[in-house]
Amino acid sequence: MSLTLNANDMAKLKNMLNDSEAMFGEVHNFKPEHVVFACTCQGNCDGRTSGCSWG
C-alpha cells in the first residue's frame, strides 16, 4: 500500500478540513495537557511500562 495520498484522497481530505472549519472554526494551535517529549517513545519512558526504547 502506498504511503502517499493520491489526488482524490487529498481532495477528499481538504474537503473534510473545510467542513470541520465551517463547523468548529479554524484551529491552528495546539498545546497538550501534559508535558510531551519527542523521544523515541514519546513519553512512554516515564509510564509504567518501563525503560526507554533502548532497553
Partner 1 sequence: MEEYREYKTLMLILTENCNLNCVYCYEHHKTLDDMPFETAKKAIDSEFQDLDQYEHGEIELFGGEPFLNFPLVKRIYDYVMETYGKDNDIVFSTTTNGTLVHGEIQDWLRERKDNFIVTLSLDGTPEMHNANRPLLGGQGSFEKIDLDFFRECWDRCCAKMTFSNKNIGNFADGVIYVDQLGFEPLATFASGMNWEGAETRKQLTEQMQKLVAYYVSNPDKKLCQMLNMNLALMFYPVDDDFRYCGAGLRKKCFDIQGNWYPCQGLSPLTVGKEAAKQFCNRDFFDFRLSQDNPCRNCRWVRLCRTCYAANYLETGCIERNCRDMCFINRLCMLACSKIKFERLLRKKELSKDDQLEMRAIIQIQQSVLDDPM
Gyration radius of the chain's alpha carbons: 18
Closest distance of CB 32 from partner 1, Å: 6
What residue has cell string 526504547?
A: 53
Degrees to nearest 5, angle at CA 50 with 48 and 51 = 145
Binders of partner 1 among 1-55, rule CB under 8 A? 1-5, 9-10, 12-14, 16-17, 19-21, 24, 26-32, 34-46, 48-55
What residue has cell string 533502548?
A: 54
Question: What residues make contact with partner 1 under the rule CB under 8 A?
Answer: 1-5, 9-10, 12-14, 16-17, 19-21, 24, 26-32, 34-46, 48-55
